[in-house]
Structure 1
Amino acid sequence: MTVMELEQRRPEVQSQDGESSYADTMARITSSVPAESTSFVGRRLELHKVKQLLSKYRSLVLTGPAGVGKTRLAKQAATTVERAFDRVVYVALEGETSEAGFARALQLALDFESSGARSAAEWIVGMPPTESVLLVLDGCERVWQECAEFIDSVDANSSVSIIATSRRRLGTVGGVTWAVPPMALPSEGAAQSLTDAARIDSVALFVSRAQSVYPAFELTDRNLASVSELCARLDGLPLALELAAARMRALSVEQLVARLDNRFRLLTLEPGNRRRPKLSLWDVLAESFATCSDDERGMWSASSVFAGSFSLDDIEAVCCATDDERIAAADVVTGLIDQSVFGYVEQSGGLEYRLLDTLRKYGAEQLEADGATRSMRLRHLAWISDLARDTEPFWTGPEGVRRSDKLLLRHSDILAALHFSLYEQRDPAPALRLAADLRVHWMSANRVEEGLGWVTAALEAYDRDDELRAVGLSVAIYLSALDSQIERADQLLVSCRELAARLQQPLISAHCAFDEGLTRWAKGEAEAAAALLEDAYHRYRALAATSNQREALFILGMVLANDGDLAGSLDEVESNLAGMADEAHWWGSGYVLWIRGYAALKHKDIERAQKLLRQCITQMQPHNDRSIIWWCLELLGWVAAEQSSLQLAAQLLGAASTFGPHHLPPVLQEQHDRHVAAARRALGGAKADRLHYKGTLLTMQQAVELAITGGDRAPRRTHDTLGEEKLSERELEVAKLIAQGHSNKAIATALVISTRTAEGHVQKILAKRGFASRSQIAAWIGESAHDEPEQHDTH
């Protein structure tokens, strides 16, 4: 039977006054789960998830990397649900490595010798169905096959439930496996109050443990950033956080953070008495490393060169030196996932793998010990350089968009490769080539200033006047113009033109014309900009530089559309764009629609602008051309503002900020700022910010739907669907009463239920929503109430 069935079956023990007695019920339960010396902190959502799974399945395997808190969660879960069982048995398997050891541990825990059974499995299967047992099998990774066979063999007895913990998957036939996540972390870059931060599980655990060794410690405004960084860099791993907190008797939080690069020496707890063994993060990870096969250990070490997530293709390119290794890579990756070394996440491009930073650091230590760090970093540099070079400078089409999206996902690897080449290898040529090939990436990733810094640093270290320097100068001009550093762009233009004249390279001369045209437009010199951009286009066309042609034409179209007084016409630009298109002209015709829509907007023909831009985004969305979708969202936000649909404008501009670069050409930035200011004046700053943020939460499909419909059929996010799990109708009633300030007793009276039942509903709401207090429930209901559809009386 499941936990839910057992709870429903168990009769209540009545006390003399007729009320069920909790003490009497507990007196019938025997439990061998060891008591903990420290309090259990956080994990409300995880506990709810475990109980939910046990209500559906009789066996549950909790997996996860070393130190993630599987054992503590299993013990707490067993204590939470123990009232559903006659007996709760804890079986410690840590250190057991053989079938005999596994059998012996079971025998000692179950004490079944007197029954005459030959094995634990036989004893469990033969238990009468009137008795119920919960087994906690803790630390199954060393005897995972024996555990899997045991769990499957006792599945026939419906009165037995099992919670097992293991660093590797057991591969049981029945039941369910759930990976325990690290503790919740503070949101990166988000401002949080002390009260909110203290409710975050990782922060709460660190503070609690720190206070146990240094009672005067408090979370303050001064140390909040350091505590948040500590929790993030330790991946929210409970073991690492507890070991770090133990150091608070001698170090401050800031000192701990400064020493985390040497975390394996730092995070060690010496025994305080003879009964407590030494606890070391290194030793715990070393045990996990030892259980891996040779191939798995090799891939764990090699994959430590990735700074972020990575795909199977990336592993094959960087970590595999031979065809045989590439063929075997999928099996090795599967093994590391089963061992809880690799985690995985679904991305738009497919399945991605990741290493927690602590596991990455351990792998890097092993790579260094093998003397393979430099060779692997060189392979990593070559891989990211190839990806940057193969991504078109101005992306178009499904393949170009896919590669550009991948570069965005690999930004941390880009930075790691640049640092390695420029500062560790002291070889500026690969760094300059990589930084230059990423010209448009720096814009699309909203990293223009950062990209300019890398290009400048590489140029300063590069001592040759050749084509690579000229390309680097051109990219520096481009990024300076986008960053509104016009004086710097002008200075670089002089150097670039002089070098181009010496090199006699037609492509460099074309780049100079384009860069100067962009700079002139940034200055507001539209006529000169148009002439230079047109010249650049013809130069690129003569050189068959297709991608550069597209970009020059698109920017030229912007210039012409923006300034109606120019003598030039959009007709030729549109004709050339359409002529360069492929796939039934979808690309060129889509960009033509956008340029026409922008021109209509500039000429105050708002209705026509809206029609053209909606037609453009409808046509381009199926092709996932992120750049033009972003431009459409941005301009449709302006259209909404011009139509006084300011709430819609705020949301569309919020969506645009999510899906595109935050840097606009200076001329367009002025118009963007004007429309944002209009929305803020009309709506008020707080409401405008809230609507802008709401727009950032939309998926691309939702944002496009909002842009096309104007909100008439836009997706709603009501307060019963915003969270991890939908509330029941009764729970929603309770949440609304909490928001009205009712106590549990008042809720019980209003809904004609017992106070104890009301308390249960409140706890379920807290667990499902991940809240820590009733005030959070009230705030949530208040914030989401305006999103509810109006209720009409049908009587």
Structure 2
Amino acid sequence: MIMTRRTGVLPAELSSFVNRHREKGALKRSLAASRLVTVVGVGGVGKTRLALRVAAEVRKAFDDGVWWVELSALQDADLLAQVVAEVLGVQDVTLRPMTEVLAEFLAQRRLLLVLDTCEHLVEPCAELVDRLLRAAPGLRVLATSRRPLRIDGENLYALRPLEARRGGRGEPAAGVQLFLDRARAASGSFSLAERDREVVARLCEYVDGIPLAIELAAVRARALSVRDIVKRLDDRFGLLTRGSPGGPARHATLQTAINWSHDLCSPAERSLWARASVFAGSFDLTAVGEVCFDDQLSASDVLELVSRLMNQSILVREERPCGVRYSMLDTLRAYGRDRLRQAGEEMPLLRRHRDYYLSLARQFDARWCGPDQIDQYERLGREHTNLRAAIDFCLKHRQEHLAGLELAAALRCYWFGCGFIREGRYYLDRALALNPAPSRTRATALWACAWLANAQGDPDAADTRAAPALRYAQQEDDTETAAWAVHLVGLAAMLRGDHLRGAALAEHAASLHRQGGDPGLGLIAARAVQAVSLAAAAEFDLAATVAENAQATCDQYGERWLRSYLDWVRALAEMGRGDPETAAAHARGALRFKRLLNDHAGMAATLDTLAAALGALGQAERAARIQGIALQVWRTVGRPQLGAPALVAAHHYCQQQARGTLGDAAYQAAFDNGLTLDLGAAIAYALEEQAPPPSSAPQQTGRAPLTRREWQVAELVAEGLTNQQIAARLVIAKRTADAHVHHILTKLDLDNRAHIAAWATEHRAPVADDNSR
């Protein structure tokens, strides 16, 4: 995905786009005239591709970006607002309805929200869109759906199939051009004789101009001549239209084209097509090998079969910095699922899908307290839609309920540490309600849910869930469960303002973990709560000692997530001890890791503490700007200063101090500058990695839309450096350099590194000193 705060989020286009000039123009005019436009049409007609191209071309018209929300894999309507929030970067942890949170977040923004594939969620989408449009006058919505949303103000744009005969500007008709593009992609030696152009036009008419059907036919040019393709389609569609003077409906036309493509597949290819339909969103080669192959479908053939389905346009291949991913168009996935169901294999394959993602969740849980937390976070992030689908499957089927509870509980650190607190609690609450019988799995899920409830500022609910977990632990002599339950009761006490009780319970939990509970993550988490409680109770020396000892345990395991929280606690303690310079150093240490996990609550709290330290050091303008950055992040969390009285008081003191030094006007200017900065640039500024831009306005230069770091990478590409050499020069990981190059190619719509070099040379200009402050 392409993502910055200003431009938004749009997926990369994975194949050439047949330029539908009239359609693009008409859709842009509709968007200009209406705040809600829904592109409607049959499956496979190209709704998503047209919406994506138009969204990319109108992006500059929206100050706060264009944001793409893919809904095809979402089955639970209750998570609709949550999925939209995730795309927008909203990690609200309050108990307010997410629809209300989104309405407030969007109220002052000017952006385009694209909801792709709404037909299975029409009513929930209609309710959400109606609420948001009423609350946010600067919001426009572009939706794609087979059915209208049917709300006031909706402007329907009915997308017609591609022309088979009429071209324009000296170009072939769009349907013919699409066939030629895909045939050439399928077979490098493909060429079309002039006498065969009429044959291709007839082929496009046979399939009623539906792009997906044209693409499925075109890939057969690898083995068949154009005339052979048309002859076979003629036979197939002759059966379809026989006895139907008005011709078949377009959905029947597409179904027939897919049937024909399916029949031309080998038995093994058909089987993999059906089995791969259990994936939601994208998947990698390892996943398809584990889930789809068995004694009947040999795993040794996985690469060959995947390649063959990709060559037939059944699977789509996408190169990402993390490696190759595969996906399937919704229409083809639904067809495959029908075939799987007819073969009686749907439930076994869904269980295998669930088992694979349960194993990933267990691996994540086992490895989280270790040196590869970022890799684990990124891996599960790529599989989020599949994890969601696996849990949904479990919660729909009685015999799978316990497995669903285990899966939701195994993801507890992912929910808590990676910004999915609401979703994690939603799933844990549902799974717990379906599994009332006492068990170790239920006890784990109870304290995991208590952890998330505390994070939402709901200590009463945390106590309610921790209590039965503690009873179970005492009955079964389960030290680990007891330790976590006690720790979370202590955290609830701290959140209520009973800091000394919170510290005492956390110390007891730490003792239990040392006695045989969890001497890694559990012990560190308990000591972190103890240290925060002590700092809030003004026991600064003891808080610093506890935090330092806990950091030593982190270093023993290579753990960095909780270590960053302990850095923040040490910053609080050093501020209490009167050493703002050391406090600032610890705050920056915390911030460096928190941004890697996209931990908004942790980043915001750390930014507040950093601002206080800088204010105490006399850097009032910088403190004011960082307070603005902190508020920007707090707005995505929903509960500034986590509602903690001590943090609120510290924030107000810092604000008054900076305002008193600068004066109201200068303070407000610096604060507003931080509030409106691009978030990536803002965090880099807080870490002293770069100076702030003079204003929040997007740069209107030839080098936009690249970030400063991407521009540096582009210049090094122009110098002839490899990605490995770029990584060494900039002191970053090679994987990070790979990602920057990928983003540059996508943003600038370039094909290769040579084009990057040419672009960088053409747009080279003096760069401001990054170290100026």
Deviations 1:95-153 (CA, angstroms, capped at 9, x unpaired): x9xx9xx9997535499xxxxxxxxxxxxxxxxxxxxxxxx9995333234679xxxxx
**Where do 1:368-383 residues align within 5 Å?**
368-383=341-356
Q: Please, which of 383, 391, 394 is the counterpart of residue 364 of structure 2?
A: 391
Name the aligned partner's letter for residue 360 of structure 1: R
1:44 and 1:474 map into 2 onto residues whose CA distance is 44
RMSD: 5.5
1:607 and 1:583 map into 2 onto residues whose CA distance is 28
Q: Please, which of 467, 470, 491 is the counterpart of residue 518 of structure 1?
A: 491
Name the aligned partner's letter for residue 568 of structure 1: L
Provide the residue aligned with 1:407 in structure 2: 380
Would you say the 8 A contact 2:641–2:648 is kept in 1? no
1:379 Cα deviation from its structure 2 partner: 0.7
Provide the residue aligned with 1:667 in structure 2: 644
1:704 and 1:489 map into 2 onto residues whose CA distance is 32
1:591 Cα deviation from its structure 2 partner: 6.0
Would you say the 8 A contact 1:594–1:632 is kept in 2? no
1:455 Cα deviation from its structure 2 partner: 2.2
1:689 Cα deviation from its structure 2 partner: 8.7
1:36 and 1:628 map into 2 onto residues whose CA distance is 42
TM-score norm. by structure 2 comes to: 0.56
Q: Report which of the two structures shows the higher radius of gyration computed on alpha carbons.
A: 1
Deviations 1:306-335 (CA, angstroms, capped at 9, x unpaired): 222212122122122259733322222222
1:656 and 1:48 map into 2 onto residues whose CA distance is 28
What secondary structure sits across from 1:352 in the alignment?
strand
Would you say the 8 A contact 2:547–2:570 is kept in 1? no
1:72 and 1:467 map into 2 onto residues whose CA distance is 58
1:657 Cα deviation from its structure 2 partner: 7.8
Consecutive unaligned residues of structure 1, counting only runs of 5 or more, are 1-32, 51-66, 112-135, 149-164, 166-268, 727-767, 771-787, 791-795
Provide the residue aligned with 2:220 in structure 1: 142
Name the aligned partner's letter for residue 563 of structure 1: A
Q: Please, which of 421, 437, 461 is the counterpart of residue 434 of structure 2?
A: 461
Residue 58 of structure 2 corresponds to residue 79 of structure 1: no
1:137 and 1:370 map into 2 onto residues whose CA distance is 27
Would you say the 8 A contact 1:394–1:547 is kept in 2? no
Provide the residue aligned with 2:685 in structure 1: 706
1:527 Cα deviation from its structure 2 partner: 0.9
1:413 and 1:359 map into 2 onto residues whose CA distance is 17
Deviations 1:562-601 (CA, angstroms, capped at 9, x unpaired): 3323783422441242144248898897665443223234
Provide the residue aligned with 1:718 in structure 2: 699
Deviations 1:44-86 (CA, angstroms, capped at 9, x unpaired): 9969999xxxxxxxxxxxxxxxx9999948988x623559xxx
2:392 and 2:52 map into 1 onto residues whose CA distance is 40
What secondary structure sits across from 2:324 in the alignment?
strand
Provide the residue aligned with 1:301 in structure 2: 274
1:374 Cα deviation from its structure 2 partner: 0.2
Name the aligned partner's letter for residue 521 of structure 1: M
1:465 Cα deviation from its structure 2 partner: 2.3
Would you say the 8 A contact 1:706–1:714 is kept in 2? no
TM-score norm. by structure 1 comes to: 0.54
Would you say the 8 A contact 1:540–1:548 is kept in 2? yes
1:672 Cα deviation from its structure 2 partner: 11
What secondary structure sits across from 1:477 in the alignment?
helix
Would you say the 8 A contact 2:284–2:326 is kept in 1? yes
Q: Please, which of 443, 452, 473 is the counterpart of residue 416 of structure 2?
A: 443
2:559 and 2:422 map into 1 onto residues whose CA distance is 35
Name the aligned partner's letter for residue 628 of structure 2: A
Residue 650 of structure 2 corresponds to residue 650 of structure 1: no
What secondary structure sits across from 1:353 in the alignment?
strand
**Where do 1:232-381 residues align within 5 Å?**
274=245, 276-280=247-251, 281-322=254-295, 325-347=298-320, 349-381=322-354
Would you say the 8 A contact 1:92–1:105 is kept in 2? no
Q: Please, which of 572, 586, 594 is the counterpart of residue 612 of structure 1?
A: 586
Provide the residue aligned with 2:607 in structure 1: 636
More off after superposition, 358-367 vs 348-357: 348-357
**Where do 1:553-702 residues align within 5 Å?**
553-565=527-539, 568-582=542-556, 593-601=567-575, 605-617=579-591, 620=593, 626=597, 631=602, 634-636=605-607, 638-640=609-611, 642=615, 643-645=620-622, 646-651=624-629, 654=632, 666-667=643-644, 671=648, 692=675, 694-696=677-679, 698=680
1:534 and 1:629 map into 2 onto residues whose CA distance is 27
1:379 and 1:481 map into 2 onto residues whose CA distance is 34
2:448 and 2:384 map into 1 onto residues whose CA distance is 18
What secondary structure sits across from 1:79 in the alignment?
coil
Would you say the 8 A contact 1:561–1:599 is kept in 2? yes
Deviations 1:649-690 (CA, angstroms, capped at 9, x unpaired): 4346646888x9989854289649957999999899999899
Consecutive unaligned residues of structure 2, counting only runs of 5 or more, are 1-17, 28-49, 58-145, 147-157, 200-213, 231-239, 708-746, 750-765, 769-773
Would you say the 8 A contact 1:311–1:353 is kept in 2? yes
1:388 Cα deviation from its structure 2 partner: 1.4
What secondary structure sits across from 2:259 in the alignment?
helix
1:300 Cα deviation from its structure 2 partner: 2.2
Name the aligned partner's letter for residue 549 of structure 2: S
2:675 and 2:260 map into 1 onto residues whose CA distance is 48
Distance 1:342 1:667, change over 3 A: farther
What secondary structure sits across from 1:341 in the alignment?
coil
Would you say the 8 A contact 2:282–2:325 is kept in 1? yes
1:420 and 1:693 map into 2 onto residues whose CA distance is 42
**Where do 1:86-105 residues align within 5 Å?**
none
2:261 and 2:597 map into 1 onto residues whose CA distance is 42
2:767 and 2:196 map into 1 onto residues whose CA distance is 60
Distance 1:91 1:272, change over 3 A: farther
Name the aligned partner's letter for residue 291 of structure 2: V
Percent identity (aligned) = 22
What secondary structure sits across from 2:301 in the alignment?
helix
Q: Please, which of 511, 514, 523 is the counterpart of residue 549 of structure 1?
A: 523
Residue 195 of structure 2 corresponds to residue 107 of structure 1: yes
1:520 Cα deviation from its structure 2 partner: 0.9
2:480 and 2:55 map into 1 onto residues whose CA distance is 62
1:530 Cα deviation from its structure 2 partner: 1.1
What secondary structure sits across from 1:351 in the alignment?
strand
2:347 and 2:26 map into 1 onto residues whose CA distance is 42
Count of aligned pairs: 526
What secondary structure sits across from 2:332 in the alignment?
helix
What secondary structure sits across from 2:325 in the alignment?
strand
What secondary structure sits across from 2:277 in the alignment?
helix
Deviations 1:423-459 (CA, angstroms, capped at 9, x unpaired): 2244321122112212222224544343333323322
Deviations 1:266-312 (CA, angstroms, capped at 9, x unpaired): xxx99999475542232333334334443333222212212222121
Residue 507 of structure 2 corresponds to residue 429 of structure 1: no
1:789 Cα deviation from its structure 2 partner: 8.9
1:377 Cα deviation from its structure 2 partner: 0.8
What secondary structure sits across from 2:701 in the alignment?
coil
What secondary structure sits across from 2:644 in the alignment?
helix
2:450 and 2:328 map into 1 onto residues whose CA distance is 38
Distance 1:566 1:420, change over 3 A: same
Say which structure, 1 or 2, has more relative contact order (CA 8 Å, 6+ apart).
Answer: 2
1:375 Cα deviation from its structure 2 partner: 0.1
Name the aligned partner's letter for residue 573 of structure 2: A
